[in-house]
Amino acid sequence: MQEFWNHRYNDPKYAYGTEPNEFFKSVVDQLQKGKILIPGVGEGRDAAYCAVNGWQTEGFDFSDSALEKAGQLLKRNRTKAKLWIEDAASFKADENSYDAIGLTFFHLSPEIRESFHHELIKALKPNGIVFMEAFRPEQLGMESGGPKDPSMLYTTEMLAADFKILDIEVNRGVETFLREGSYHFGEAKVVRFLARKKA
User: What is the domain partition of the chain in residue ranges?
Assistant: 2-196
CA distances from 57 to 51, 115, 122, 139, 147 (A): 6, 23, 18, 30, 27
Which residues have C-beta within 8 Å of that of residue 190, sequence separation ≥ 6?
23, 133, 134, 135, 136, 139, 173, 174, 175, 176
Q: What are phi and psi of 74, to 5 degrees?
A: -60, -45
- The torsion of the CA quartet 111, 117, 118, 122, rounded to 10 degrees, works out to 150
Q: Which amino acid is at 157?
A: E
**pLDDT beyond 90 at 3:** no
| 2-196: CATH, from 3.40.1190.20, 3.40.50.150, 3.40.50.620, 3.40.50.300 | 3.40.50.150
Which tens digits make up the pLDDT trace of 34-82? 999 999 999 999 999 999 999 999 999 999 999 999 999 999 999 999 9
State the pTM of this model: 0.95
Q: State the pLDDT confidence band at 2, using cuts at 50, 70 and 90.
A: low
Mean pLDDT over each residue of the chain, to the nearest integer: 95
**13 with 181: CB under 8 angstroms?**
yes
* Dihedral sign, Cα of residue 11, residue 176, residue 162, residue 196: positive
